[in-house]
C-alpha cells in the first residue's frame, strides 16, 4: 500500500475541546482517524500534546510516511517508535502517534477489502458484552462519590438485547432519581450519564432495584486516584474518610450487599497490594485496573506478578500505538484476565474501539448509553449483524 497523502486537521471532541483527525489517502481511497480525550488521565499514560503542538510535529514527520510503501501495522508503529524514542511519546505526543497508527490500521483493512474487526480477528469471534455508564458526576459537574455507576448484563443473548435492557434501566434510573434526589434535574455529564450527588448508599439502593428488574448487574468505577489524598480516600458526598484497609473492607462490603459484579480502580494507581487483596476476597466479581495499568505492558506484567486484578481496561490512547494495544490485550488474555475496551470521557464519532474490541476478542466494551455515545453502540449492532451472517 503506497501512501499518497497524509493530512491532519483540528476537530472537536464531545467535551467541546479540540482534538486531531488524521486522514490517509491511498490508491484505494481515503480513511480517517480521530483521537479521544481523557478527563482523569492516569499518570502512567503516554503524553497528550496540545493540538497546536501536534500539528507542528505532524508537519515535521509527515514526509517519513508519504510516498512510502507500507505493508504491516508493525512497520508503521516501529517507525513511530523510531521517530520518538521516549517511552511516553512526549516528543510527538501519544495523540499524534495513535492518530497515525490507527489511520494505517484502517487503511490496511480497507486495502484488503475488510472491516477492521475482520482484519484483526483470527478465526471465530464473539461479540463483547456492554458495560455502560448510567450515573455519576465528577469534575465537570461536581463530584459524586463514585466517578461512574454502570450497568452490565448477567448473561448475554445478544448485544442488542443487553443494550436494550441497559437503555430501559437508564430511563428507569432517571424516574427513580426524580423521586429520591431533590437536586436531580435530568442533567447529564460528559458521558451522558445522569448527574446525581446522592451518596453512594442511596444511589446503590436505586440501582439495585433497577438492575434486578432488568436482569442486570451493577458496576462501579471509583477512579480512586481522584479520591486519594496521599493518606486516605475522601468521599465528599458521604463524608467518608477511609484508610487503605478501610477502603478494602468498604468496597468488599458494598459488593456483598448489592448486586455489584464489576469494580474498576477501587484503589489509587500505585497500590497493587490492595488490588490483590480485594480481588482475592471478592472473586469471581471483576476487579479491574484502568489508571492502574494505563494499557502499559510493563504495568500489566507487574499486576500479573502481584495477582493484582482479574480484569484490565484497555484504552489505546493511554499507550499510543495499535501494536502496543494488541500486545497488552494478548498478554492479558494469555493470563486469563478479562479485557474491557473502553471509550474516554471526551470522544469523537470514531468507532475504531468497537472494531478493536471485537477483532481482539475483548470480553467487554465500556461506553456511555446515551447522547453521542450511541455512535459506538450502533456500530456494535452493525458488527453483530455481520457476525451473524
In the complex, the residues that contact ligand 2PG under the rule CB under 6 A are: 38-40, 148, 191, 221, 223, 290, 342-345
Beta carbon of residue 23, minimum distance to ligand 2PG (angstroms, whole number): 24
Provide the pairing of β-strand 364-368 with 286-289. Answer: unpaired
Q: How far, in Å, CA of 87 to CA of 79, rounded?
A: 14
Residue nearer to ligand 2PG on the CB measure, 6 or 341: 341
* Least distance (Å) between residue 292 CB and ligand 2PG: 11
Q: Which is nearer to ligand 2PG, 197 or 344 (CB)?
A: 344
| 259 contacts 204 by C-beta, under 8 angstroms | no
Closest approach of ligand 2PG to the CB of residue 191, in Å: 6
Which of the listed partners (ligand 2PG, Mg ion, none) does 39 bind, with a CB threshold of 5 to 8 Å by partner kind?
Answer: ligand 2PG
Nearer to ligand 2PG, 129 or 343 (CB): 343
The residues annotated with a catalytic role in the active site are 191, 315
d(CA 346, CA 344): 5
Nearest residue (CB) to Mg ion, 31 versus 278: 278
350 scored as a contact of Mg ion (CB under 5 A): no
Q: Mask 242-271, x = binds Mg ion (CB under 5 A)?
A: ------------------------------
Residue nearest to Mg ion (CB): 290
Q: Which does 342 bind (CB under 5 to 8 A by kind): ligand 2PG, Mg ion, none?
A: ligand 2PG
Cis amide linkage into residue 284, ω under 30° from 0 = yes
Q: How far is the CB of 221 from Mg ion (least distance, A)?
A: 4
Using H for helix, E for strand and C for coil, what is the string for the chain?
CECCEEEEEEEECCCCCEEEEEEEEECCEEEEEECCECCCCCCCCCCCCCHHHHHHHHHHHHHHCCCCECCCHHHHHHHHHHHCCCCCCCCCCHHHHHHHHHHHHHHHHHHCCCCHHHHHCCCCCCCCEEEEEEEECEHHHECCCCCEEEEEECCCCCHHHHHHHHHHHHHHHHHHHHHHCCCCCCCECCCCCEECCCCHHHHHHHHHHHHHHCCEEEEEECCHHHCECCCCEEECCCCEEECHHHHHHHHHHHHHHCCEEEEECCCCCCCHHHHHHHHHHHCCCEEEECCCCCCCHHHHHHHHHCCCCCEEEECHHHHCCHHHHHHHHHHHHHCCCEEEEECCCECCCCCHHHHHHHHCCCCEEEEECCHHHHHHHHHHHHHHHHHHC
- Does 221 interact with Mg ion (rule: CB under 5 A)? yes
Question: Which of the choices Mg ion, ligand 2PG, none does residue 38 contact, using the CB cut-off of 5 to 8 A by kind?
Answer: ligand 2PG
Q: Indicate the residue among 153 and 219 with the shorter CB distance to ligand 2PG.
A: 219
CB of residue 290 to ligand 2PG, shortest distance in Å: 5
Shortest distance in whole angstroms from residue 304 CB to ligand 2PG: 21
In angstroms, give the least distance from the CB of 124 to Mg ion. 30
The residue among 77 and 290 lying less far from ligand 2PG, judged by its C-beta, is 290
Query: Are 173 and 369 spatial neighbours (Cβ–Cβ below 8 Å)?
Result: no
* Spatial CA neighbour of 143 closest among 206, 189, 185: 189
Q: How far is CA 281 from CA 256, 263, 308, 331, in A?
A: 11, 13, 12, 24
Min dist CB 38 to ligand 2PG, Å, is: 3
Size of the site for Mg ion (CB under 5 A): 2
Q: Which is nearer to ligand 2PG, 26 or 147 (CB)?
A: 147
Under rule CB under 5 A, which residues in 278-297 are in contact with Mg ion?
A: 290
* Binding-site partner at residue 295 among ligand 2PG, Mg ion, none, CB < 5 to 8 Å by type: none
Nearer to Mg ion among residue 221 and residue 269 (C-beta): 221
| Residues lying near Mg ion in the complex (CB under 5 A) | 221, 290
Amino acid at each position: 500500500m503506497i501512501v499518497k497523502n497524509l493530512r491532519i486537521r483540528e476537530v472537536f471532541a464531545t467535551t467541546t475541546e479540540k482534538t486531531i483527525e488524521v486522514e490517509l489517502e491511498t490508491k484505494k481511497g481515503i480513511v480517517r482517524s480521530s483521537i479521544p480525550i481523557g478527563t482523569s488521565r492516569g499518570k502512567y499514560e503516554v503524553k497528550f500534546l496540545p493540538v497546536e503542538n501536534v500539528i507542528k510535529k505532524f508537519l515535521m514527520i509527515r514526509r517519513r510516511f508519504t510516498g512510502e510503501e507500507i505493508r504491516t501495522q508493525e512497520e508503521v508503529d516501529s517507525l513511530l517508535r523510531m521517530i520518538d524514542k521516549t517511552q511516553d511519546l512526549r516528543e510527538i505526543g501519544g495523540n499524534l502517534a495513535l492518530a497515525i497508527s490507527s489511520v494505517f490500521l484502517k487503511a490496511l483493512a480497507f486495502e484488503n477489502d475488510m472491516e477492521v474487526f475482520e482484519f484483526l480477528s483470527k478465526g471465530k469471534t464473539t461479540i463483547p458484552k456492554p458495560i455502560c455508564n448510567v450515573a455519576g458526576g465528577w469534575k465537570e459537574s461536581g463530584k459524586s462519590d463514585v466517578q461512574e455507576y454502570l450497568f452490565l448484563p448477567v448473561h448475554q443473548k445478544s448485544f442488542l438485547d443487553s443494550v436494550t435492557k441497559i437503555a430501559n434501566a437508564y430511563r428507569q434510573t432517571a424516574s427513580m432519581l426524580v423521586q429520591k434526589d431533590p437536586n436531580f434535574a435530568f442533567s447529564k455529564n460528559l458521558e451522558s450519564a445522569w448527574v446525581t450527588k446522592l451518596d453512594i448508599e442511596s444511589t446503590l439502593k436505586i440501582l439495585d432495584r433497577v438492575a434486578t428488574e432488568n436482569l442486570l448487574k451493577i458496576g462501579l468505577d471509583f477512579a480512586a486516584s481522584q479520591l486519594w489524598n496521599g493518606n486516605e480516600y475522601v468521599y465528599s458526598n458521604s463524608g467518608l474518610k477511609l484508610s487503605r484497609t478501610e477502603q478494602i473492607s468498604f468496597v468488599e462490603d458494598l459488593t456483598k450487599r448489592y448486586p455489584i459484579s464489576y469494580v474498576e480502580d477501587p484503589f489509587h494507581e500505585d497500590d497493587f497490594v490492595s488490588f490483590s487483596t480485594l480481588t482475592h476476597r471478592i472473586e469471581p466479581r471483576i476487579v479491574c485496573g484502568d489508571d492502574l495499568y494505563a494499557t502499559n505492558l510493563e504495568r500489566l506484567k507487574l499486576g500479573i506478578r502481584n495477582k493484582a486484578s482479574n480484569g484490565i481496561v484497555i484504552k489505546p490512547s493511554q499507550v499510543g500505538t495499535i501494536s502496543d494495544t494488541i500486545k497488552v490485550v494478548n498478554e492479558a488474555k494469555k493470563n486469563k484476565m478479562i479485557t474491557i475496551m473502553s471509550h474516554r470521557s471526551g470522544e469523537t464519532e470514531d468507532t475504531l474501539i468497537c472494531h478493536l474490541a471485537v477483532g481482539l476478542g475483548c470480553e467487554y466494551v465500556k461506553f456511555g448509553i446515551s447522547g453521542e455515545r450511541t455512535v459506538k453502540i450502533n456500530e456494535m449492532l452493525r458488527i453483530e449483524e455481520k457476525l451473524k451472517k
